[in-house]
Amino acid sequence: MGETLLEIRNLKKYFRTGAGMLHAVDDLSFKIPKGKTIGVVGESGCGKSTLGRTILRLHEATSGEIWFQGQDILKADKRRMKEIRPKMQMIFQDPYSSLNGRMTVRQLIAEPLIVNKICRSRREIDEKVDEIMETVGLSQRLSMSYPHELDGGRRQRIGVARALVLDPEFVVCDEPVSALDVSIQAQILNLLMDLQEQRDLTYLFITHDLSVVKHISDEIMVMYLGQCVEMGPSQAVFDSPAHPYTEALLAAIPIPSIESKHKRRTLLQGEVSTPINPGKGCRFAPRCPRATEVCRVQEMKLREVGDHHYSAALCQNREYS
């Protein structure tokens, strides 16, 4: 698997509400090897973005450990976090609202360098900005343009440039292509993959689109209401989904062919259970076609079903080698 850059141990993030504690991220543990990508997938509201923001300490964790380069950053003070933050960056979902509309492209990309005092002179800042603009495919003629004058693809390239201008080692990609047209999505995905290879970057790639996550990820983690229900190598999860929820997600991927019209779809019925003060049972049970009474009361734990492939399904009955 290679050297581990980031390790998450029993990470929890709860939000206090009037009805109780909302379990947005509930006891997640996983590792990301250096230079690899773990894709996090699930429906809206499953806790994907909260996970990414908690890892970067944009949200403070309720409990758990986040080990980055051999240090639990949850124990780091403000001074130490200021040193760590340039190494851990984020590309946001909306390439428009994440940018200051009053700043030019050059100012937007230079801002992280100025805030973190990376460069010693204006000339050095300009050189870094010119270099990263060329790297992400932004023409120099756009330097003095404002975000509203550009299309979504170019705006997201600014977001990529802002994240990478500090030469980070770990990047959280929070649905970076979901707001873009399909043709532009492919360009940004290919850019991210090329940059990963060139700079040995490590990604946490958050998306609700399994066809996208298969294209870019080495491993996939499927989340449902704050919990991991399945995790494994990308190909294994696609070839042999071990959890009914993963099966439903895969069945929802549109296939551009006439034959696909006759493909049998997995239709989920029932109500989504609440993430506020949830019980021990499987949170997917109210919608699961194979759920039993045991699923509703027994504590859900990941079990190995294949080579580095784990599932939390109690109803799992496939044979794995």
pLDDT in tens, the chain (321 residues): 578 999 999 999 999 999 999 999 999 999 999 999 999 999 888 999 999 999 999 999 999 999 998 899 999 999 999 999 999 999 998 888 889 999 999 999 999 999 999 888 999 999 999 999 999 999 999 999 999 999 989 999 999 999 999 999 999 999 998 878 888 888 999 999 999 999 999 999 999 888 888 889 999 999 999 999 999 999 999 999 999 999 888 887 776 665 555 555 666 777 788 889 888 888 888 888 887 878 888 878 899 998 899 998 866 544 333
* Helix, strand, or coil (residue 8): strand
Give the Cα separation of 286 and 292 in Å (integer): 10
> What is the pTM assigned to this prediction?
0.90
Beta bridge partners of 203: 37, 171
d(CA 321, CA 319): 7
- DSSP character for 307? T
Name the one residue in this structure whose structure tokens are 């460069």: 119
3 state SS of 265: coil
CB 137 within 8 A of CB 157: yes
For the chain, give the longest Cα–Cα distance: 67
CA atoms of 134 and 292, how far apart (whole Å) = 56
- Indicate the burial class of 152 (C-beta count within 10 angstroms; 0-12, 13-18, 19 or more): middle
What is the torsion angle, in degrees rounded to the nearest 10, for the CA atoms of residue 103, residue 105, residue 106 and residue 111?
60
Question: In 3-state terms, the chain is what percent helix, strand and coil (to 5)?
Answer: 35, 25, 40
For the beta carbon of residue 60, count every other beta carbon within 10 angstroms.
9
Which H/E stretch holds residue 126?
helix 122-136
**24-69 pLDDT, tens digit each:** 999 999 999 999 999 999 988 899 999 999 999 999 999 999 999 8
Alpha helices by DSSP H, 4-85 = 48-55, 78-84
Give the other-Cβ count within 10 Å of 201's Cβ: 24
Cα-based angle 272, 277, 280 (whole degrees, multiple of 5): 80
- The 8-class DSSP code of residue 270 comes to S
- State the residue for tokens 């050095």: 124
- Look at residues 129, 53, 57 and name the one whose alpha carbon lies nearest to residue 92: 53
Cα–Cα distance, 79 to 257 (Å, whole number): 55
Q: Label the pairing between strands 202-207 and 170-174.
A: parallel
**pLDDT of the residue at 5:** 95
* Tokens linked to 144: 């003095």
With vertex at residue 101, the alpha carbon angle to CA 99 and CA 104, rounded to the nearest 5 degrees, is 90
